[in-house]
A = this chain, B = another copy of it.
Amino acid sequence: MFTQQTQVRVRYADTDQMGYVYYGNYAAYYEIARVEALRQIGISYKDLEAAGIMMPVLENHSRYLQPAEFDDLLTIKVLVRQMPTVRIQFDYEIYNPAGQLINTGQTLLAFIDKTTRRPCRPPKHITALFQPYFQAEP
């Protein structure tokens, strides 16, 4: 299992007239968290796309437990529970500055060949970077 934490400051732009973060903006928070998670594993998503692999989202699921407010420094915990194949799933837990769990999410992404726009397996050097986190226990 791979897990990592990222922080994001709520922008005024992220709020709506209810005075909280608009529900559609959590998708961007998830994106930040998984880009940083990949970076820590040693994968630049920018380089991955430049190398011809895109990772479009197939599914997205969110549960909104408590609202997030402007200027909150949120902590996003990312989890990858299973070794990626042609798909990769990220789970998220978002905590507010008081340490309360305010949002949980799950995103399923595909590896897609940029030229053929067909699903593909991630390249071996990418798989190798994930490997250490998913070793079978003896």
User: What residues of chain A have their CB less than 8 Å away from a CB belonging to chain B?
Assistant: 9, 11-13, 15-20, 22-28, 31-32, 35, 44-46, 49, 54, 56-64, 67, 69-71
B64 and A57 within 8 A (CB): yes
Residues of B contacting A49 in the complex (Cβ-Cβ under 8 angstroms): 17
Q: In the complex the two chains form, what is the Cα distance from A46 to B16 in whole Å?
A: 13
Known pairs A45-B71, A46-B70, A70-B46; A60 contacts B15 (CB<8 A): no
B60 and A23 within 8 A (CB): yes
A24 and B13 within 8 A (CB): yes
Query: Closest Cβ of chain B: how far from A6's Cβ, in Å?
Result: 10
Copies of this chain, tallied across the complex: 4
A61 and B61 within 8 A (CB): yes
A61 and B64 within 8 A (CB): no
Known pairs A28-B11, A71-B44; A54 contacts B18 (CB<8 A): yes
A16 and B12 within 8 A (CB): yes
B23 and A70 within 8 A (CB): no
B20 and A12 within 8 A (CB): no
**Which residue of B has the minimal Cβ distance to A10?**
B46
Known pairs A12-B31, A15-B17, A16-B16; A46 contacts B64 (CB<8 A): no
Q: In the complex the two chains form, what is the Cα distance from A25 to B54 in whole Å?
A: 18
